[in-house]
């Protein structure tokens, strides 16, 4: 067993509280309003300042009138609190005879928006980003040292009895990445034991002991610990209730390596219950000693996908009509489809038996119409792709074995390549990827799209091809 780094292994920073984001937004709005005060739309009343400025800006106003119709708002304060009406500079009349001596006018104040004070104890989004970069930098510094374990020990020497969340992430992040390397280079060796003991000694000082970083550390710890029963038991006591399928799988593998059969069987059942697949256990050499164990195989058998009764008749017409419509569209656009001859239903079922798979009934129906086909750049499997080592079959096998960080991918049945090495139409027999019932799933790199069936998939080919080819 080799520990696998997945897309989950990326560090995650805690998002800034909502109050801070809202406050930052309001403060930004206030600053923007102050900076553009001369371009806003003031109300219709103005002071003598506008009267003086009108003649100077008359030419500019004509050019900008349609876009902004800017008006300036100021506050004029006099003893009688009278407000002068704005008039063009050429018609302005002095009214000093009527006006009483005025007090010195107060400076005009720009319009303000309410200010929300941000508590200094609440980290801003920028502060969180800086903290994340610093943590990542510390992890890299530790791992780049000549002796990462010694460097981690020195770092821990400056960590108080109750570590901060960031300090905990640095320690667990550096340790789990170091273990990932040791799992393949020195499994069960002295370096592994020293690193495990260092982290486990300070385990209770870390504030987050069940989250992502903790689970990744435990996952790689089980992969690297070898057959050390004492440390396996210590690690097993730290596995959280909501452990990931990958972590549960590695617990079972470590117990298998240690020869603890009963504990291993319980761990296998727990891993299967939370999303691990029988295929993972059947192909991992850590369980080789139990490949012939009847109870081990029975547990895996109970988790195998249920049988699909053969019943293609309700699907033949729908598949035929969907395919006919797609072929007509593609031919009109100049993309000539390649359609194979029909296969018998017996040949289809024989191919399933040879590959130890079960095809959905609508795909069985397709094979009885066309045993393999190519629509635009989408290559659909035929029976020979399931029985022989064709190029398409080899590409599918490599894709499924790569896992791509998707639990349940290795148990899916390949149906078609979707134009790229990482894009495939699959049948999810247990609904693991779909998160529910068995069915079709379209994998576009790591993006998962559940489809209603084969007719939906064919319709999707037609629509995407039309959009691409008509544009060209």
Cβ(279)–Cβ(410) under 8 Å?
Answer: yes
Predicted confidence at residue 123, as pLDDT, reads 53
pLDDT band with cut points at 50, 70 and 90 for residue 410:
confident
Residue 198, CB-side half-sphere exposure with 13 Å CA sphere: 24
Query: Crossing angle for the helix pair 190-201 and 148-157, nearest 10 degrees?
Result: 10
pLDDT tens, residue by residue, 383-397: 999 999 999 999 999
| H helix intervals, 225-277 | 229-236, 245-258, 261-273
- End-to-end CA gap in the chain: 49
Predicted confidence at residue 128, as pLDDT, reads 54
pLDDT band with cut points at 50, 70 and 90 for residue 50:
very low
Residue with tokens 């000093």: 96
pLDDT band with cut points at 50, 70 and 90 for residue 129:
low
Enter the pTM of the model: 0.54
Is the pLDDT reported for residue 44 higher than 90?
Answer: no
Higher local confidence (pLDDT), 411 or 422: 422
Cβ(7)–Cβ(446) under 8 Å?
Answer: yes
């Amino acid at each position: 067993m080799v520990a696998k780094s997945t897309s989950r292994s990326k560090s995650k920073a805690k998002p800034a509280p909502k109050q801070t984001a809202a406050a930052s937004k309001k403060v930004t709005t206030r600053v923007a309003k102050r900076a553009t005060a001369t371009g806003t739309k003031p109300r219709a009343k103005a002071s003598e300042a506008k009267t003086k400025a009108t003649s100077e800006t008359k030419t500019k106003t004509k050019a900008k009138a349609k876009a902004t119709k800017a008006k300036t708002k100021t506050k004029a304060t006099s003893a009688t609190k009278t407000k002068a009406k704005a008039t063009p500079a050429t018609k302005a009349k002095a009214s000093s005879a009527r006006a009483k001596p005025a007090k010195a006018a107060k400076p005009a104040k720009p319009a303000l928006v309410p200010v929300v004070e941000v508590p200094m104890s609440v980290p801003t989004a920028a502060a969180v980003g800086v903290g994340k970069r610093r943590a990542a930098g510390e992890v890299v510094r530790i791992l780049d040292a000549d002796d990462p374990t010694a460097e981690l020990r020195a770092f821990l020497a400056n960590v108080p009895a109750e570590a901060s969340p960031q300090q905990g992430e640095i320690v667990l992040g550096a340790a789990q990445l170091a273990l990932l390397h040791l799992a393949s280079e020195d499994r069960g060796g002295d370096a592994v034991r020293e690193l495990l003991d260092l982290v486990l000694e300070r385990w209770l000082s870390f504030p987050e002991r069940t989250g992502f970083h903790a689970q990744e550390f435990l996952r790689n710890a089980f992969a690297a610990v070898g057959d050390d029963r004492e440390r396996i038991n210590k690690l097993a006591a730290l596995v959280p209730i909501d452990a990931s399928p990958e972590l549960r799988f590695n617990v079972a593998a470590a117990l298998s390596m240690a020869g603890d059969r009963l504990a291993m069987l319980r761990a296998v059942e727990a891993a299967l219950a939370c999303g691990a697949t029988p295929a993972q256990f059947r192909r991992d050499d850590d369980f080789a000693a139990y490949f012939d164990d009847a109870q081990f195989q029975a547990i895996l058998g109970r988790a195998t996908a249920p049988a699909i009764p053969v019943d293609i008749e309700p699907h033949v017409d729908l598949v035929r009509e969907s395919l006919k419509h797609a072929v007509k569209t593609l031919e009109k656009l100049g993309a000539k489809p390649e359609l194979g001859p029909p296969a018998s239903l017996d040949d289809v079922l024989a191919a399933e038996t040879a590959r130890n798979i079960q095809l959905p009934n609508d795909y069985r129906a397709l094979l009885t119409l066309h045993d393999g086909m190519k629509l635009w750049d989408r290559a659909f499997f035929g029976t020979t792709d399931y029985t022989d080592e064709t190029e398409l079959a080899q590409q599918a096998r490599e894709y499924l074995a790569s896992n791509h960080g998707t639990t349940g991918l290795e148990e899916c049945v390949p149906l078609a390549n979707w134009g790229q090495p990482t894009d495939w139409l699959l049948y999810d027999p247990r609904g693991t990827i779909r998160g529910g019932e068995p069915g079709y799933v379209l994998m576009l790199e790591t993006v998962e799209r559940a489809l209603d069936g084969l007719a939906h998939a064919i319709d999707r080919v037609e629509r995407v091809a039309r959009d691409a080819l008509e544009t060209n």
